Amino acid sequence: MTSEKTELAIARADRVMRSLNERDGAVRDAARRERQRLNAGLGRTLARVGIAVGTISLATIVIGLIIPIGMFGFLAAVGLAIGVAALLLVSGGKDIAAPNVTSDLHNGEMVQRFDSYLFRTRRALPAPAQAEIDLLSAQLPPLRQTLERIADLDPNAQDARRLMSVHLPNLIDRYLHVPSAYREQRDGEGVSVDERLVEALVAGRQALTEISEKLARADMAAFETQGRFIQSRYQEKTLD
């Protein structure tokens, strides 16, 4: 028979493996969403390049029909097209490589930018903070679906926007500014920089969870109200 100690060890190992599997799944999902954003950004950049090159080509043809431009004019047009294409690719590549979390975006795009920001900064954080980032990233897709239906000025949306555009990015940026040699030093409350980061990420994640729950309860209440109205308005009433 298996001893109680062995069973406890097996159960503990199962919990650890299950936690690792869930965490790996969250990381894979975040990476997949980031690839989708990169592909979309690359597609937009290539479209701009195509439009610019097409415009230059059309202008060259029109000018050539009016005034002969000769070989040098043709080469100048080709060089201009190549230069514009390179400029658009470089500027587009920078925009894709370093997405900014700004406060002037619609709710859905705000969540997308914040999700990308978390994915790109995750590797620079300690392991406990990475685990919190994974939990935070996992709740962003359903939050995005909810926020896309809500006005930007909704109080709950405003709270979520402040967390995603200001508070959490500033927290991570300030952490990264601290030299690694000082991150284990403890402050007046006996908390290290790494521990403070994890605690703040937990608080931010819980705040977003509360916002999601508030929005879900509001949707449930609206659904219940609509259902009661339809029942009271259209339900057949039997007479005694």
Q: What is the pLDDT of residues 82-123, one digit of tens each?
A: 766 566 555 554 443 334 555 577 888 888 888 888 888 888
Q: Are residues 80 and 165 in the same domain?
A: no
Q: Are residues 196 and 85 in the same domain?
A: no
Q: In this predicted model, what pLDDT tens digit does every residue of 40-71 receive, in sequence order?
A: 555 556 566 567 666 766 666 666 667 766 66
pLDDT for the residue 186? 87
Instruction: Report yes or no: 133 and 171 within 8 Å, Cβ to Cβ.
Output: no
Number of structural domains, the chain? 2
Q: Are residues 92 and 111 in the same domain?
A: no
Would residue 28 count as lying in a domain?
A: yes
- Across 31-35, average pLDDT: 62
* Distance, CA of 129 to CA of 193 (rounded, Å): 11
* Cα dist from 148 to 62, 165, 193, 214, whole Å: 45, 16, 35, 15
Domain boundary at 62, 97, 132, which?
97
For the chain, give the mean pLDDT. 75
Residue 189 has pLDDT above 60, yes or no: yes
Q: Which two tokens stand for residue 66?
A: 């009016």
Range with lowest mean pLDDT among 41-50, 191-200, 208-217: 41-50
Quote the domain boundaries for residue 19. 4-97
Give the pTM: 0.59
Would residue 240 count as lying in a domain?
A: no
Q: Are residues 121 and 80 in the same domain?
A: no
Would residue 13 count as lying in a domain?
A: yes
* Distance, CA of 189 to CA of 175 (rounded, Å): 17
- Residues 118-138: b if buried by 16+ CB within 10 A, e if exposed: bbebbeebbeebbbbbbbbbb
Domain boundary at 78, 97, 116, which?
97
pLDDT for the residue 195? 92
Q: Are residues 138 and 211 in the same domain?
A: yes
Q: Are residues 157 and 125 in the same domain?
A: yes
* Cα dist from 126 to 3, 78, 115, 190, whole Å: 37, 50, 18, 19
Instruction: Report yes or no: 31 and 119 within 8 Å, Cβ to Cβ.
Output: yes
Contacts of residue 35, Cβ cutoff 8 Å, sequence gap at least 6: none
Q: Are residues 122 and 51 in the same domain?
A: no
Q: Are residues 26 and 58 in the same domain?
A: yes
